[in-house]
Amino acid sequence: MAEFPSKVSTRTSSPAQGAEASVSALRPDLGFVRSRLGALMLLQLLMIFNISATVLYITAFIACSAAVDLTSLRGTRPYNQRAAASFFACLVMIAYGVSAFFSYQAWRGVGSNAATSQMAGGYA
């Protein structure tokens, strides 16, 4: 029991140091985001977001279109609301699909390969 206090080392930090460390842990690493790997990672996240949004809007378009009753009268309020929702879902679905396509093209690097980049770099 007499040896116990000599083996224990207690170090405490001031509250200011602890708060500073927790704030710095929440800051994003801008050096990583500016690197090629970080940019590719962000591009992949955007591409995944656009693809999943496209799929969700496809299901919304199908659901809204199926909800429009064939027996309901055109020009009535429920018919117009469902038709407008279907139209909006279709437009947003197309926009997200086009955005996902361009994100994929940028991710894949269309138009730049080793041969064209060497030629352009040598003669430009």
At 18-46, the pLDDT tens digits run: 555 566 667 777 787 788 888 888 888 88
CA atoms within 13 A on the CB side of 6: 3
pLDDT digits (tens, 9 = 90+) for 87-124: 888 899 899 989 888 888 887 776 655 555 555 554 44
pTM: 0.54
Domain that holds residue 95: 30-109
Please state the domain count of the chain: 1
Domain-located, residue 16: no
Residues 50, 101: Cα–Cα separation, whole Å: 9
Domain-located, residue 72: yes
